[in-house]
Amino acid sequence: MNRGELRLADGENLLWQCSPRLVPAVVKNRKLLVALFVLWLSVTGWFVVFGDVTGAVVSIAVGSVAALVARQRQNAIELVEYFVTDRRIVVHTDEEGKFEERVYPMAELPEAVLRQHPDGTGTITFAGAEDRRLRRVVHFDRYAERDLVLRAIDHAQKVYEHVRRARDSAGGASAE
């Protein structure tokens, strides 16, 4: 199966499909990033002017690593695709050439929770997912099963309604 493809079972209907829409950090935090860039450029320039080669190299390396990490995070998010059908939610990821498909049957999902964002997108989590995620971060349990979170999606209210109706008709699990 390829990115953007989902095989539907007989009688299954695709209700919605998309990838997260993330506003690049450059747009969201333009003033802060310009200030940090000017500061980084000044520090690097100061090291060069005063002949501190080691300081200049370290400054350039730190700036380069920060830029690469930011770009890799954006790339990783761009390689996610969500599918909502009347029977399940499917998440495709394609990281480092490794395609993964996670399937969440509607009947097994807890209550959906919608959070709207100022940029016009929204995030849909499922009851208790945020608490479990915080516990995993505290206990560093990276091997625990991933909770379903639809991040930064356009038309979040409409998708939320699709999920709620499909979950209700599938006899979704009650909230924990």
Instruction: Specify the number of domains making up the chain.
Output: 2
Residue 3 lies inside a defined structural domain of this protein: no
Q: Domain limits at 71? A: 30-75
Tell me the C-alpha distance between 22 and 15, whole Å: 22
Residue 9 located in a structural domain: no
Maximum C-alpha span of the chain: 72
Same domain? 110 vs 155: yes
Give Cα separations from 134 to 73, 124, 128 (angstroms): 20, 16, 10
- CB count within 10 Å of CB 85 equals 20
3: which DSSP letter?
Answer: T
Average pLDDT per 10 consecutive residues for the chain, totaling 176 residues: 76 90 60 82 89 89 82 65 93 78 90 87 77 47 61 90 92 54
Contact 143, 155 (CB under 8 A): no
Q: How far is the C-alpha of 66 from the C-alpha of 144, rounded, in Å?
A: 28
Tokens of 18: 């998309």
122 shares a domain with 51: no
Does one domain contain both 118 and 151?
A: yes
pLDDT for the residue numbered 136: 44
Are 162 and 114 part of one and the same domain?
yes
- Give pLDDT, residue 114: 93
